[in-house]
Homo-oligomer: A and B are copies of this chain.
Amino acid sequence: MTICILVTGGTFDKEYDEIHGRLFFKDTHVGEMLALGRSRVDVTVRTLMMIDSLEMTDDDREVIVANCGACQEDRIVVTHGTDTMVETARALARGVPGKTIVLTGAMVPYAFGSSDGLFNLGSAVSFAQVLPAGVFIAMNGRVLPWDRARKNRETGFFDEV
């Protein structure tokens, strides 16, 4: 079983620009994280975009939907900023039937050394292997069907609704 990991950016992959003191995107850390986790899961990693999910447009979401639909794998993990993760999940639920799609992200950039990203990636890759077809949000060790998840902007956590 191969899992397709589609990278879209988000806090997960933000880096610190030490010259300007800003956060920015360069390359994804997903490969490095899988290596750190000694992952033996068969994966294909593809970077679709590297953006903050607050800046994600409908066109960007169409790119994600198209790639989830077109890839040959039936089990997909999408790394994504948490702010609009549910919106992308909704687009995927409409546009990609019959596949198991798990969206995940992080509250702290992996590059900052104290990230929840490694924990979430282990979790998402695991849920993607065993859940039935559908679109899910895997954050904070838990998994929720996309239409029952809502980000709580005060706590940063996803609540079940």
Contact = CB atoms under 8 A, between A and B. Distances in A.
A116 interface: yes
A40 interface: yes
A95 interface: no
B130 A142 contact: no
A111 to B, nearest CB: 7
A31 interface: no
For this chain, the copies found in one complex come to 4
A144 to B, nearest CB: 11
B38 A142 contact: no
Interface string A106-143: 01110111111011111111110111000000111111
Contact of A138 (B33, B115, B126, B153): B126
Contacts of A41: 140-142
A121 B140 CA distance: 12
